[in-house]
A = this chain, B = another copy of it.
Amino acid sequence: MNTDTENIDLYVEYWNAANYLAAAQFYLKENPLLRVPLKPEHLKPRIRGHWGSAPGLNLIYVQLNRLIQKTKAQFLFITGPGHCSSAILANLYLEGTYTEFYPEVSQDIDGLTLFCRQFSSPGGVPSHLSAMTPGSIHEGGELGYSLLHAFGAAFDHPQLIVAAVVSDGEAETGPLAASWQSINFLNPLRDGAVLPIFHVNDGKLSGPTIFGRMEDKDIAMFFSGLGYDPLFVCGDDPQKVHADLFKALDQSYLAIRQIQAEAKEKGLKAKPKWPMIVLRTPDGWTGPKEVDGVRIEGTYRSHRSPLMDARENPDHLKILESWLKSYRPEKLFDEKGKLREDLLALAPKGHLRMGASPYANGGSLLVDLALPDFTEYRVPVKQPGTSVSEPTHVLGKYIRDVIRRNPKNFRIFCPDETDSNRLSAVFEVTSRCFVSKIFPDDDYLSPDGRVMEILSEHCCQGWLEGYLFSGRHGLLVSYEAFAMILDSMASQHAKWLKLYREIPWRKPVASLNYLLSSHVWRQEYDGYTHQGPGFIDTLINKKGNVIRIYLPADTNTLLAVMDHCLRSRNYINLVIAEKQPSLDWLDMDEARAHCARGASTWLWASNDNGKPDIVLGCAGDVPTLETVAASWLLQKYFPELKVRVVNVVDLMILSPPAYHPHGIDEQNFINLFTTSQPVLFAFHGYPRMIHDLIHGRPNPARFHVRGYQEEGTTTTSFDMVVLNKISRYNLAIDAIKYALKSVPHLRTKGEELIGFFERKIVEHSTFVRTHLDDMPEIKNWTWSNPITS
């Protein structure tokens, strides 16, 4: 390989052009090449942007360009500090991809004017990277996920090298700190490579960074211990730093190719020692040295665009002008306002340009999953509520066959709970992925495994996001309670998707599918910390065209729901399902029809003949069990009362169609819930949410919701529903109370029965404390014709 760094000056000139444009975007709405003296009216009224990291990012981009030119390798660029988007935009514009995606931003003075003007402006381009940015799958707004996205994109993309810039502030976050360990899951025989470039500029918002103040030797030990081979590039002399990074990149590239070749030749012996680069350059390098006697360059004070008041302050306007002119734009751009030809020649061409990487527009690479026929995994259901199966256990067989049929573009991501959530059937065809020491005694552990288990919900989500946005499919499996760890990541993902859907050149990607099990009602083993249904609440607030929430009540319904999710695009699908043996309600045909509708009246569980005194609504497996059992109790002991059971599997059907596309129309809503009868609704999660959803429906105040009330501990499963007042007995009592208002002639009997069920609750509480287990009549309950029994 040619390691000639002699024409380094040319790269420095290209870099100057990028630095110039990175800065110009903050300030200029006119006069983009400073061809006339800078005046206040050329400046934007609101100066916005982040400068500190920009020169470092530009350096990396320019030197990667050179490496790509030389090697023709396929690179994807990830920018940890996404706030420095003006640097990336500058490079996209210079290399020509920006203009290809947005032709109005042409390669001339007019285009350049628009390019600068639109940055951070109303109706323009946001101050951070976003789905609007060509070549980007990573926003970098909420810091911490750059390396995870990089690894996610590299999995199963053997041709790809992902260059991931991690900033030193970002490196203080938890998710980023955990993600260095991702090399324990990267297999050089089937995956691409990740080249972390750790940008230690010693600045964050308003102070130095931890890594910025560590010695090189300590940083080197830290990364060596993790299993990397760190190369250091440090300094502030442009020529020298360019030359050093040039060499470090060449060396890294060679090391990557060597690791890959060696693995191919000799097989994978041990965790490879992957190269990485530690780049120490000054914060705000080449920017104003000092303003008003305060040092700027080389300090955190460069983080945001300096000289924000240049429009009002003539001295600052002067400094700004001479700073911008220091890059000598007149030498870099030709008469028309286009980058000089000899500089342009330094950038790669076509798809090799990082802004044009197909890996960054994952939909363009997406291949539909080859899905098995989910109905073949059905459990037979002769009579509702009489047979038992384990929903996620059965689903595991279906997922096993999804993996079998899609050996290169589907993975499971899970924080160490695949087995615990009973998806164990997947291990018949694959293993847990692990690229470190494996002992003969280990179960289902292999560098080829397609189950990505790391005890970090953040890593699971970050990897999956990278995997999806680069055009593949996946499933995240977690305990329900700890999905809340992902609240912010899921929110950011929903934001990205919302914008993504609006951009014509972004091709649809596979949905992010969550399967949450070991849920709030069945964590009586692990107790209160493990009981939290709050993840639904996070998703529910997101844009209606992005989120879907499913609460299948039994095995066949779960199968139908999951098949649907795996076929969908551009959504976040949340599926919450049971792992414990549970009663089956619907046979497969019924389950499919039920899912298609989103909610149905369960006639077999109702005795209302179209005129209910009370509607028992339910969503979620355990609330459904308790609701059906409550209906059974009422029909058995109180046949005069007319009860209807309505089960909801697609939560969003409750919402008026104006708020969510799945919302059913008013007539269908009335068909289920009537217009005015009381509804007692047993919900999987926090009860408030149902009140939200039905706002705008007829007579919302007649809905009475039961759900999780933040009561819990290690106890029996039935005790959990009693503690939260959502047990069959509580529901039966409340149903009678609400119904009696409309059937006052049944009052005496109703009140007697309320007393009876209240005594049942006391009986239960005594029983579990004495026998440490649930009453047989609860454990063994099944559906039967309540009238005859």
Contacts and interface: CB of A to CB of B under 8 A. Distances in A.
Contacts of A719: 122
Contacts of A124: 714
Interface in A440-486: 441-443, 445, 453-459, 481-482, 484-485
A534 interface: yes
Most central of A179, A206, A419, A710 by chain B CB within 10 Å: A206
A180 B225 CA distance: 14
A753 interface: no
Contact of A541 (B481, B525, B529, B534): B534
A462 B691 CA distance: 34
Interface stretch (A40-48, A186-194, A367-375, A582-590): A40-48
Nearest to A83: B526
Given A455-B143, A484-B491, A534-B487, A716 B46 contact: yes
A376 interface: no
Interface string A205-228: 111111001100011111111110
Given A225-B222, A488-B485, A498-B710, A207 B773 contact: no
B484 A525 contact: no
B184 A210 contact: yes
Interface residues of A, number: 127
Interface stretch (A149-157, A168-176, A233-241, A332-340): A168-176
Given A173-B174, A488-B484, A538 B540 contact: no
A416 interface: yes
A541 B530 contact: no
A309 to B, nearest CB: 15
B715 A455 contact: no
Contacts of A288: none
A706 interface: no
Interface stretch (A3-11, A279-287, A345-353, A764-772): A764-772
Contacts of A180: 177
Contacts of A437: 213
A315 interface: no
Nearest to A685: B541
A703 to B, nearest CB: 8
The 6 closest A-B pairs by CB, nearest first: A141-B529, A222-B225, A174-B174, A221-B225, A177-B177, A688-B692
Given A174-B459, A207-B416, A537-B537, 6 more contacts: A121-B769, A142-B482, A172-B459, A177-B180, A206-B453, A534-B541
Interface of A: 29, 44-46, 48, 82-83, 117, 120-128, 130, 139, 141-144, 169-170, 172-181, 184, 204-210, 213-214, 218-227, 295, 299, 416-420, 432, 434, 436-439, 441-443, 445, 453-459, 481-482, 484-485, 487-488, 491-492, 494-495, 498-499, 525-530, 532, 534, 537-538, 540-543, 686, 688-689, 691-693, 695, 699-701, 710, 713-716, 719, 765, 768-769, 771-773
24 contacts: A120-B714, A121-B772, A126-B714, A142-B485, A172-B181, A172-B454, A172-B459, A173-B178, A173-B456, A174-B176, A204-B416, A205-B417, A207-B443, A210-B436, A214-B227, A221-B222, A295-B441, A482-B488, A491-B534, A495-B528, A495-B532, A499-B528, A691-B695, A700-B700
